[in-house]
Amino acid sequence: MNEQSKITAEHLRRCAIVYVRQSSTTQVEHNRESTARQYELAERAGRLGWRRDQVKVIDEDLGVSGSGLSERIGFAPMTAEVGLGQVGIVLGLEVSRLARNNADWYRLLDLCGLTHTLIGDGDGIYHPGLFNDRLVLGLKGTMSEAELHVLRARLLGGIRNKAARGELHRGSPVGLVQGDADGEVLLHPDESVQAAIHAVFDRFAEFGTTRVAVVPLARPALSAALQQPCRSPLGRPNLHKDPPGPHQPVLCRRLCVWLHPADMLSRCGRSNPKAHQTTRPRAVAGVHA
């Protein structure tokens, strides 16, 4: 059965959806050719018989992973439209663009099979209601999920190997900068930034709460430090669609000061852990103070 024979008049009466996705903002910025190829699928829908006004391009998930760990605001409405029988075909450059986990993938296949919705990628057109097509799509989805696991294992293996040699470098916490020598970490050259950082820890030692201690972070003295890339203890960047100004630190930047391994190790044992323990009696179930 060729591709065109699977497309019926009923399919053409419905809309065609082109799903566009890249896994990260870095890919969106640098892999522009892949993004352009995905947008070109709208022209393919026209060649298959759909009018231009029937073609919907869903690109809200650009920069969002398809592993299932991140919420995709474009994938959920698309799945709902498929379940309502309003979609004739779903086009993606490849299966991995639609889903990188079997839970989302097989849910989409089940809905497409029930509503007789076609799925198209770079290799052809498939009808999930047909056994052979369902088998091929199932294998592609499994391979897509396995590929993600292999890529992650390969990257983590390289990171661990580099860390074992002592050559792994992550982003410095707020107030510290990388030196010229290999592995050299120095205080921020701006003395006002150093003073503000010391003020943070002094206030924390005095009040015992980060909410009061981070007040100095809002001062202009930390503007240079807060413009550095913010990284979590695991070294993963925290991206914000609308990053606040340098004088409006967010919780991510606050936690960078307290949770970064360099800060934790450098201050371990310098203060008495009992200094901030409260003497207030705790309420216990069944016992009244």
Q: Which of 196, 170, 173, 174 is nearest to 183 (CA)?
A: 170
Do 74 and 20 lie in a common domain? yes
Over the stretch 95-152, which tens digit does the pLDDT of each residue have? 888 888 888 899 999 999 999 999 999 889 999 999 999 999 999 988 888 888 888 8
The SS3 of residue 89 is: strand
Q: Residue 250 — pLDDT band, cuts 50, 70, 90?
A: very low
Q: Structural domain of residue 37, as residue ranges?
A: 3-151
Integer Cα distance of 11 and 6 in angstroms? 9
The SS3 of residue 79 is: helix
- Angle between helix 75-83 and helix 102-115 axes, rounded to 10 deg: 30
Q: Residue 215 has what pLDDT?
A: 65
Do 15 and 139 lie in a common domain? yes
CB contact at 8 A, 37 and 91:
no
Beta strands (DSSP E) in the chain are: 15-22, 55-62, 87-91, 118-120, 125-126, 176-178, 185-187
Q: Is residue 227 assigned to a domain?
A: yes
Do 147 and 189 lie in a common domain? no
Integer Cα distance of 197 and 278 in angstroms? 26
CB contact at 8 A, 88 and 117:
yes
Q: Is residue 103 assigned to a domain?
A: yes
Do 183 and 236 lie in a common domain? yes
Do 36 and 140 lie in a common domain? yes
Mind giving me the DSSP string for 247-265?
A: TS--HHHHHHHHH-HHHHH
Q: Residue 172 has what pLDDT?
A: 73
Q: Is residue 166 assigned to a domain?
A: no
Last residue of a domain, one of 90, 118, 151: 151
Do 138 and 243 lie in a common domain? no
Over the stretch 8-22, which tens digit does the pLDDT of each residue have? 999 999 999 999 988
Tell me the CATH number at 104: 3.40.50.1390
Over the stretch 40-62, which tens digit does the pLDDT of each residue have? 999 999 999 999 999 999 998 88
Residues designated as active site = 23
Do 26 and 129 lie in a common domain? yes
Do 236 and 127 lie in a common domain? no
Do 102 and 36 lie in a common domain? yes
* Domain total of the chain: 2
The pTM of the full predicted model, rounded to 2 decimals, is 0.59
Last residue of a domain, one of 85, 118, 151: 151
Do 19 and 128 lie in a common domain? yes
**Residue 239's CB: how many other CB atoms inside 10 A?**
13
Q: Which residues are paired to 126 by β-bridges?
A: 119
